[in-house]
Structure 1
Amino acid sequence: MVSVPLLLALLGPLFAGAPGPRAASFTLGGGHWLGTDFVGRDVWRQVLLGGESVVLVALAATALAYAVALPLGLGAALTRRPWLEESLMRPLDVLLAVPSLLVVLLVAAVSEPGAAGLALLVALVNIPDAARIVRAAAAQAAASPAVEALRMQGESRWRIAFGFVGRSLLRTLAADAGVRLTGVLYLVATAAFLGVGVAPDAADWAVMVDRNRTGLFVQPWAVVVPALLIVALSTGTNLLFDAALDGGRRSEKRKEPRR
C-alpha cells in the first residue's frame, strides 16, 4: 500500500514520456490504458506525473514540522526557567485554536504559495501540535535523576536533550509520525483540491479527483485511481508504523528475563 504510491511519485515522471496528441475528453480505450481526462489527456500519464506534487510535499512538510517542533519541545521540557517554557509554549497554544485549513486558505488568498511554499505552510500549521506532543513526552525523562546526574557530570545540553531525552521519545514520535503524515497528506491533497499551490490543470492526484469528478460515471478511472493512491498511502503509512511499534514491543518482551 505504501510502496506503490511512493514508487509512482518518485519514479513515475521518469517513465511518463512525452505528451501525446489529445483525444476526446472522458473516453476509454483508444490506446489509453485508463482512458482520457476532462481535457483529453492520457490518464495513465497524469497518474505517473501527479504523485510528485502530493507525496513529496507531504513528506517535506512533515520533516520540516518535526525539525522545528523537536528542539522547541525538548527546550521547553528541559529548561529550568518557567518563564522561558511559557514563552515557548503559550504562542503555540494560540496557533492551535486556528483551524489549519483556514490558515492555508487565508495565506493562499494573499499570495500563491507554490509547491515549496505549500510545504512550508503546511509544516507551520503542524508545528504547534507536534511541539506539544514532544514536550509532554519529554517531561518525564527530563525530570528523571539520570538527567540530573548528566548535568552534574557537565554534559552538554545538546547531549542531554538529543542523546538521552530524545532517545526516550522514539516510540512516541514513531506513533505520532504515522498519524501526522496522514493528516499532512490529506491537508496537502485538500489544498490542491481547492487549487491552492498548484495550477488548476496540473498533473496532481488531488487535482485529478477535482477536475474529473464531473465525468465519474462516464470515465471513472480518472477519479478512482488517484483517489485510491492517496487513500492507500495514508492508510498504509499508519499500518506500517503500527506494525513497527508492535514489533518493537514483542522484541522487548522477548528480552525481558523470565521469573
Structure 2
Amino acid sequence: MRPRFLLGALVIGVPLALALLGPLLAGEPGPRGASFTLGGGHWLGTDFVGRDVLHQVLLGGRSVVVVALGATALAYGLALPVGLAAALTHRPWLEELLMRPLDVLLAVPSLLMILLVAAALPPGPAGLTLLVALANIPDAARIIRAGAAEAASRPAVEALRLQGETWWRTAVGYVGRSLTRTLAADAGVRLTGALYLVATAAFLGIGVAPDAADWAVMVDRNRTGLLVQPWAVVTPALLIVALTLGINLLVDAGLKARKRT
C-alpha cells in the first residue's frame, strides 16, 4: 500500500470512526458541571453549559459526515444528468436552457444562497443536506458538462447514435464512464467543500439547533471560552480538519494508483 494512502486512511480513520461509532459508545450523559472547566472526571473538560466535551464529541460527528456525504451524493445525482444532457444535445437552445440558470446561481455566493433558501426550509439535517447540495450543483454540472463534451465529440458516440443505441447507454455507458477520473478528482474537492459548507452553516446556526451535539456547533458555541477551556473548541475543529485532509489524501492516492495501472 502506498504511503499517501496509508496516511490518508490514518488521518481520516479517527474522525470517521468517531462519527460512525461515537453515538454507540457515548452512553448516557453524566451530570452537568460548571461551564468551561478542566478535570473533575471530564477528560476533555466541560463546554459552555457544563456538558462533558468528550460525550458531545462522540455524538457530534455523525450529523456532519452524514449531511456532507448526502449533500455530495445529491448534488452529483442532480448535476450528472444535467451536465450529460447539455454535452450530448444537438439543440443549442436546450443547452442554453440547462446551463444558463446554473451560471446565474454560480454568481451567488454559496453562503448567501444558503442564507436565502434556509428561510423557506424547515430546520434539520434534511433541509441542510438540500441546501448544501443546491450550492454545489451549478459547479458540479459545469465540470461534468466540460468533461463530457470532449467524449461526446468522439466518433464512437456518433457510431452509437447511428446504431440506434438509447440515450442512457450512450450518455452513461460510454460518456459517463469516460468521466470517472474527472469525477473522482472532483469528488474529493466537492466533499471537502460540502464539509466546509455544513460546518459553516452549523457555525452560523443554520439547519441545526444552537445547542446541538455537532462538531461545528461546538466550535461556535464554545469559542468564548477558548482561552479558558481550549479542548471544547480545538477537539472538534481538529476532527473536521482531519476529515477534509484525509479525504483529499485518499483521493490523490487513488488517482495516482489508477494512473500507474
| TM > 0.5 fold call | yes
> What does residue 15 of structure 1 align with?
25
- The question of whether the paired residues in 1 share the 8 Å contact of 2:215 and 2:236 is answered with yes
Q: Offset at 1:107?
A: 2.2
> What does residue 257 of structure 2 align with?
247
- The question of whether the paired residues in 1 share the 8 Å contact of 2:76 and 2:140 is answered with yes
After the TM superposition, which residues 109-258 of structure 1 pair with which residues of structure 2 at under 5 Å, given as runs?
Answer: 109-251=119-261
> What does residue 76 of structure 1 align with?
86
- Structure 2 Cα separation of the partners of residues 55 and 221 of structure 1: 21
- Structure 1 Cα separation of the partners of residues 81 and 120 of structure 2: 30
Q: Deviations over 1:36-75 (max 9, x none)?
A: 1111101000000001111110110000000000111001
Q: Offset at 1:108?
A: 2.5
Aligned-pair identity in percent equals 79
1:25 aligns with 2:35: yes
Q: Deviations over 1:172-196 (max 9, x none)?
A: 0011111111111011100000000
TM-score (norm 2): 0.94
- Structure 1 Cα separation of the partners of residues 237 and 171 of structure 2: 41
- Structure 2 Cα separation of the partners of residues 107 and 152 of structure 1: 44
Gaps of 5+ in 1: 252-259
Moved beyond 4 Å, runs of 4+: none
Q: Offset at 1:16?
A: 0.7
1:45 aligns with 2:55: yes
Q: Offset at 1:113?
A: 3.0
- Structure 2 Cα separation of the partners of residues 40 and 112 of structure 1: 29
Q: Work out which of the residue numbers 100, 105, 108 in structure 2 matches 1:95.
A: 105
- The question of whether the paired residues in 2 share the 8 Å contact of 1:47 and 1:203 is answered with yes
TM-score (norm 1): 0.95
After the TM superposition, which residues 52-63 of structure 1 pair with which residues of structure 2 at under 5 Å, given as runs?
Answer: 52-63=62-73
- The question of whether the paired residues in 1 share the 8 Å contact of 2:121 and 2:127 is answered with no
Q: Deviations over 1:50-109 (max 9, x none)?
A: 011111101100000000001110011111111111111111111110011001112234
Give RMSD over aligned pairs: 1.0
> What does residue 254 of structure 1 align with?
none
Q: Offset at 1:112?
A: 4.0
- The question of whether the paired residues in 2 share the 8 Å contact of 1:175 and 1:241 is answered with yes
Q: Deviations over 1:116-135 (max 9, x none)?
A: 00101110111111000000
The letter of the residue matching 2:216 is A
- Structure 1 Cα separation of the partners of residues 87 and 224 of structure 2: 51
Q: Deviations over 1:149-185 (max 9, x none)?
A: 1111121110111110000000000111111111110
Q: Offset at 1:250?
A: 1.4
> What does residue 7 of structure 2 align with?
none
Gaps of 5+ in 2: 1-10
